[in-house]
Amino acid sequence: MKKEISNGQVFETSREKDLLSHLISTSQKYKLWIAFLLLIILFGMFAYYRQVKYGLIVTAMRDFTSWGIYISNFVFLVAISLVGSLFSSILKLNNNVWAKPLIRVSEFIAVAAIICASVIIIIDMGRPDRFFYVITHFRIQSPIIWDVIIISTYLVISVLLLYISILPDIALCRDRLTEIPNWKKKFYRIMAINWVNHPKQVAILKKVSKILAVAVLPVAFAIHTVTSWLFATTWRPGWDSTNLGPYFVSGAFMAGAAVIVIAMYFIRNQLKLKSYITESHFNNMGKLLVLLSLVYLYFNINEYLGPAFKMVGVEGEHITELFAGKYSFLYWFVQLGGLVLPIILLLFRKMRNPVPLLIISFFVILGAWVKRFLIVIPSLQHPYLPIQDVEESYLHYIPTWEEWAITLASFASLLLIVTILIKLFPVLPVQEDEKLVINTDINPLIIKNES
Amino acid sequence: MKVNRYLYPALKIFLLMGLIFGNIPLAFGQDAKEDAKIAVSFSEENDIKTITAIAVDKTGEPIEELELYFYVKRTFSLLPVGDPFNSTDENGMLEVVFPNDLPGDDAKGNVTIVVKIKESDLYNDLSLESTKNWGIPISLDPLKEKRSLWASSANAPISLITGVSIMIFGIWYIIFYIFFKLYKISKIRT
């Protein structure tokens, strides 16, 4: 067996070296990146300190626009978190072999996004100290309670999905990595829960992994459907729609796929994994993005065609404002730049190469974020009851620097969590499935790593 | 002399301050307001409920043309009753009809009626509160409330409670089962 050595660490195979060496050494670039993210988070924390001290008055939210970019961002982050289920469940159950190397990255992102989404909800509260009233004054009739329940459930399931997929690799890190600090050794030892690639352990893990792959799907659909119900059950133009559930879920999958493209591009380049995440992965992701965007386009047409055809009352005003009013630039940017153009461009093979696909995905993501802004804010500015004798500030919503700082900090936190997870665990399965093959239930056989 | 340089200005300031502070009672005394007294009584005849207020000054003389404000205490603020402006007559008396359709605060129909003197030129502000069972009795018994989406948490629709519970227990059963299986994995040793 040919052994590989990197930074004093002996690896059994070149695959191990490629996938584990970044866990041992920390580059200057990585430290700078972490420092940059921490700086943004600290700035966001300062803005939040001001918000707690002076109250929500430091934001631009008032009586009519009572949900601002915090809630838009919350919906965006929940959407991103759905990507975990797309890869760990939908593509896995459909035996999409090409998607396997992307499963773990998707789970990292899912966990990070759902953590940030939960935090942003508390940030949106004027009295965060009363958060536990949600539990002590529990009302099952409230869609907000449904959201709290489903978010916490999805958080646990996402963590479990991730943990189950990395468990054999954590044990590998525990056994192989000698050149790491003691706390890391201890961390791997605890996290590996005595995993020794025992046939019985492998059998249980496979079973559990299948159960989770099926169980996560309804929960993932539920989390974004319930989030859409927060809007659909509130009587405002633009939200009074039966289409909102599938509209949100399809949009989430599209945004999630774009996030994966961006993540895999940077992971591939920074961790030098070009032979593992290949151009064909980008090609396939491009095709998947087209498919998901087409589904989303279909729901978009459904969402706007009916009200735009009828133009009834405030609903019509809302549509006019989106199509030709003060939000028209953002609206057409989202629909054309973030949806139609990406679909057309990605139909061409050359556009599915890493760099063009990365740029297109950025536009999709930007469009997805702005889309959430357009779902939340213009609707709130058109209540069914007339607005009379109110302060000037109630009529507009332009987020304050505190809101932007906190929102940027939430993105930085998401990136920080993903970066730390990448630094702690291998991003691709080190022990490929073939090495964990079970022949029979009674006498399972593990084919040892011989490569 | 050096002392005089400080003594004279100090003396001037001292005299000036004496002048200012000495005149304060005089200045405010000119605008001093009196306390008024209000007697509130309630009468009910042929379903017409009337609040009668009689205002007198400190000598016991009725106050004419005094504006009084009548309110009923609600959960968050005071609900005005009667005309927007009500003034006492030459006997210092004022009558306001209490509406028949106000919900009370409790099962007895108690309401808190507030009579106020506000921003009068001659009299100090005053607020009198009296409780009367003139409101429509309301039932706060959660057991008598119908099960509905808008009811209290104790009266949520059974179908909703069952449906949500089945879903929650279903998924959390799987989660706990997986935790249990992970525990099993940790107990397997070579």
Residue B169 C-alpha, separation from nearest chain A C-alpha, in angstroms: 11
Q: Concatenated DSSP letters for A34-58?
A: HHHHHHHHHHHHHHHHHHHHH-GGG
The 10s digit of each residue's pLDDT in B167-190 is 999 999 999 999 999 999 999 876
Cβ-based contacts of B188 with chain A (< 8 Å) = 194, 196, 198, 200-201
- Complex ipTM tops 0.90: no
How confident is the model over B33-56, as a mean pLDDT?
89
Q: Which of A140, A198, A219 sits opposite B156 (nearest CB)?
A: A140
How confident is the model over B40-55, as a mean pLDDT?
90
Nearest-CA residue of chain B relative to A158?
A: B175
The 10s digit of each residue's pLDDT in A238-292 is 898 899 999 999 999 999 999 999 999 999 999 999 999 999 999 999 999 999 9
CB pairs under 8 A between A and B: 69
| CB-based contact A146 B164, cutoff 8 Å | yes
Kindly state whether B168 is in contact with chain A, defined as any CB-CB distance less than 8 angstroms.
yes
Tokens of A349: 């093979």
| CB-based contact A141 B168, cutoff 8 Å | no
A440 pLDDT more than 60: no
How confident is the model over B45-73, as a mean pLDDT?
89
**pLDDT tier for residue B142 given thresholds of 50, 70 and 90:** low
Residue A233 C-alpha, separation from nearest chain B C-alpha, in angstroms: 12
A12 pLDDT more than 90: no
The pLDDT score that the predictor gives to residue B13 is 82
Tokens of B110: 């108690």
The 10s digit of each residue's pLDDT in A291-323 is 999 999 999 999 999 999 999 988 899 999 999
What are the structural domain ranges in chain B?
1-32, 37-132, 144-187
Cβ-based contacts of A155 with chain B (< 8 Å) = none
**CA neighbor of A210 nearest in space, from A101, A87, A93, A378:** A93
Do A369 and A76 touch, CB atoms closer than 8 A? Answer: yes
Selected for mutation to probe chain B from A88, A138, A140 (highest B CB count within 10 Å) is A140
A164 pLDDT more than 90: yes
Q: Is the dihedral of CA B2, B4, B7, B8 positive or negative?
A: negative
CATH 1.20.1630.10 for the A22-387+396-432 domain, yes or no: yes
Contacts of A213 (CB under 8 A, 6+ apart): A88, A89, A92, A93
Nearest-CA residue of chain B relative to A143?
A: B149
Q: How far apart are CA A61 and CA A57, in angstroms?
A: 7
Cβ-based contacts of B146 with chain A (< 8 Å) = none
The pLDDT score that the predictor gives to residue A244 is 93
Q: How many residues does chain B have?
A: 190
Q: CATH top-level class for B37-132?
A: mainly beta
Do A23 and A173 touch, CB atoms closer than 8 A? Answer: yes
How confident is the model over A408-436, as a mean pLDDT?
87
| CB-based contact B185 A140, cutoff 8 Å | no
Do B71 and B61 touch, CB atoms closer than 8 A? Answer: no
